[in-house]
Structure 1
Amino acid sequence: MTDLRAGIRRRRATTAWTAALAVVLGGAVTSCGPERSGREDKPSQGAKLAFKDPLGTSYLRYLTESDREDMTGNFDPFYVNLEASRASPGRGSVNARDIKVTVDLSAAKSVTFNDMKKEQGCKRSGDLVTCTPKNIASGESEHLWLFDMVVRRNAAKGPAGSMNVTVSSSNAPTIHHTTQLVIGAPLLTAREDGEPSPAPVEPGSEPAPLEPGSEMKLRPAFGNEGDVDVDGDLSVVVDVKGQATLSRQYSNCRYDKADAPKKAVCTIPGPLPVGAAYETDRPFTVAIDKTGRQGLITSTLYPAPNTPSSDLLPESAPRGTGAPVGLRPADGLRPADGSRYTPFGGDFAQGELRFLTTRRYDYQVNGLTLKGKVGDEISIDVMDEDGYYEGETYLTLPEGLTLKEAHEGEGDDVYCGYIDKRNRKVLCPEPHADHARLRVHIDKRVEGTQGTISVEPDPEHPDPDLTNNTAPITMEYVD
C-alpha cells in the first residue's frame, strides 16, 4: 500500500480554457437549445456524418503592428470536427467513404486564408476550399485542420461575414454548417463565489456549513474584458453536483428533469459589452437534500451559438414556470473595484461554489457505470462531488476488466492501482487538486458482472449512515 501511494503521480490544475481562439467546427447538427445553423439532406445510406460542437460564431485575433512583426503563431487555425456513426442500429463498423469538405469563403471579409493543409487534401480555387480527408469509421471522430486564417492589416473590429461548410460522402447524407466571423475576441470572466445568500463569503475564508434540508440562493455573475462585445443571445448553464437540486423557476430556462432537476440551460438576451459585468437579476434556488453532505454548483456563460452539445438540453426539455431570468449590472469587474472575477481566456467563463453541510462525516459514495466495447481502454474520474471527496476509495472491479496503472512519462495524473490483483481489488488514492483516474481495458464480455466502490468512515468521528458507504460498479457494453 505504501509503495502504491508513493508511486502516484499528481496532476497540476490547468486552465479551463486552453484553446481560446482556435476556430473549431464539429457535434451533431441539432435544433436543441439555442438556435444553430445546421441541416441534413436526404436519408442516410449506411453511414452518417455529423459536426461535433460546431461554433456559430468564430472570434479571430485582432493583430497589432507589433504582433505582425513576428507572425509565428499569430494565426487562427480552422478546424472541422467530424463524427461518424451507423445510419441504423447494428453491430460492426461502417466507414463514411469518399468524404469531401467544401468551405465557401465568398461571404467572408477582411480575413486572409492561407496554408491549405495537404494532409487533408485541401486545395483552394477562388473562393472555394475543397478537402478530401480519409474515411472515418463509425464510432470515431476526426479533428481536421484545413487551413489558417489571419486578420488583414487595418481591418476593423466586429462582424466579418461568414463561411459556409458542406460535407458530403458517397454513403452518408450531406450536412451543412455556417459560422459567423468576428474580428476581435471577448475575454469572458466569472465571479469567483457566485454570491450565495444569505451572507456573502469573505475572500479567503471558508463558508459556514449549511444545514441539510435548507435552501441557498445563487446569483451567477460574468464580465467581458476583451476587445469586442458579445452580441446576440447568451447561454447561462447552472449545473448542480452533489446532494442538492435546483428549483424549476424560469420560463427561459430548460431543465434536465421536471422534478428536482440538477441542470438548467437558460437563454438570456445580450449583449455583454466590453468592460461590463452583469449578474442574473433573479437568483437560482438550490435545495440541499435532507441527508446532503456536500456539493458543487457551476455557472457557465457562453455566446448562445457556441454552447457545446454536452451543455445543451433538447427543445422538449421541461421549462420553468415563472417569469424569465435576465441580467442586471454588477460591480467589481476591474481590479480597482476589488475584482473577484476570474478570466478564462476566450468566449466562455465558469464560476463555481462548493458547499458542505453539518453532516460532513456522513461519508458517501455513488455507483459507477463503465461503458465501452470489448478491446476498448477507458479512463474516468472515480469520484465527483456527488459522493465522497476526501480520503481513499476502494474498488472491486467487475469481471472481464484489467486495470491499467500509471506509466512513466504521464505527467502528474493520479491513477488507481492494484492492492490485490488476483481478486481485482483496487485502491484509488485521496484526491488533492484532482480526483484519481480509473483506467481499465475491457478484455471480454461478462454479462451481469458487477463490482463495488466503497469508502471507509472517519475513525475519529461517527458516520451517521453506513448504508451509503458502498455502491455498485456496473458494465454497459457497446456493440
Structure 2
Amino acid sequence: MPTPSPARRTFRSSVAALGAAGLMALAPAPAAYGEENTPDLAVGGIAPVSGLRPGDGIDVTATVANKGTVTAEKVWVAYSVTRGLDFAQMPSNCQVQHVRPYDEMPERWTAVCAFEQAVEPGAVYTTDRPLRVTALDRALNDELRLRVESADPGADENGSDPVAGAAPPVKLVATDAGGVGSARIVDVPVTTVNTADYQVTGAALRGSVGDTVTMTVKFTNAGPAWVWPREGDEAVRVVITPPPGTSVVKRGTFCRADDGAYVCGMRSLYEGSGETYTFRLRIDKRVPDAKGSIALSTEARPFDPDKANDQADITLDVSGGGSSGSAGGSNGSGDSGGSVGGSTNASDGGSSSTVTGGTVTSGTTSGGNLAESGSPVLPAAGVAAAAVAMGATMLLVQRRRRAQLPN
C-alpha cells in the first residue's frame, strides 16, 4: 500500500499542527469529534505462504470488517507485493503501480482496488473472487501486504503512473467468515524454493617494487533469485585481504579496515547485481608467491549451496627485488584519502600495472615522481651538471662583491 515518504509525512504533520493551532485560536474544537466518528476497518483473509516454486501462484481473497460504529460509505483495499511476485489479471476497478524502492522498502507492485459499497458496522465482507499472485523466477523471500482504507489513499508519489486493469471488476460480498483480526495493515511472508549464487572474483597483480597498482575485485549475486534480508538475518559481507608486501594507498568504497583485512558491504542483492571494490596498493617489497584473498563472510546462507566460488585469490607478481624504503602497512585513509591519480611511476624505471576485473594490464614507466613523497627523481648526470652550474654562479657573485669593496 502506498506509504508517504518521511519528508512528506513531516510536511503533513507540520501542516496539521499549524491548522490545529489556528482552530484553537478561533474556537475550541467540538468534543465529540474524534476517532469514534471514523469507520474502524480491519483486513485479513490470508496466512503466510511457503513452499512455492517459480511459476506457482496463490489466490488472495481479502476479507474486510468494520469494527467501529460508523458506516464506511466506500472502501479501498490495496494489495502490495515485493519484486519476486507479480499480479495476474487485474480487475478494472483496481489501479496498478510499479513503485521503486525508498524508505528501506524494496521495489514492489501495488494494486489499489476501489469498492463502491458501504461496509456496515459489525459486518464482514469478502471479495467475490480471488486476486491471483504468481512467483517469478527471481522469487525467494517476498512479502504480500494487504491494507484497507475508508478514504482514497491516492497514488504513491514514488511510483509510475497508475494503470487500470482490464478484467471484470471485483466486488465485496457479505460473509460470516471470522478471523479477520483488528489490523488495518497485514504483512504476509511468501517464501519460494529457490537459490541465489553469491560469488566473488579475485585479481592478478603485477609490478615492480615502488609501483602503485590498481586492484579491482568483485562481488556478484548471480541469481536466479533476488535476496531481501528479513529481520534478524545476518548481513553478508565481503572480506578482502591484500597480498603481503603491499600497503593500501586508497581503499575501496563501502570498505573499512579490520585487523589487516577490509570488510566491505554492498548496495544491492538483486539478481545479476554486484559490487566492485577498487583499491590502490603500493608494492613495498618482493614477497615470494605473495597472495591475498577476497572471500564471503561465514554466516549461514541456505539459499546459496555453491560454496566453490565464495573465495578467490589475489596474486601479486613482483619483478626485481628489495624494498622501496616505504614504512608500509598503511590501511588507507578512506575513499579519497591517500589517492594517487593516474598511473604511478617507479623510481627505478620499472613497470607499472593496473588490474581491472581480474585482468592484468601493464605499461612501462621511467623517470617521474616517487609514489608516496612526490620528490622528483633526477638522473645522476643531471645532478652533477646542476652542481657545477651552481658552483660557477657562487664564484661569480664572490668576485663581483670583491670588486665593489672600497680600497
With the length of structure 2 as denominator, give the TM-score of the two structures. 0.45
Looking at secondary structure, tell me which structure has more helix per residue.
2
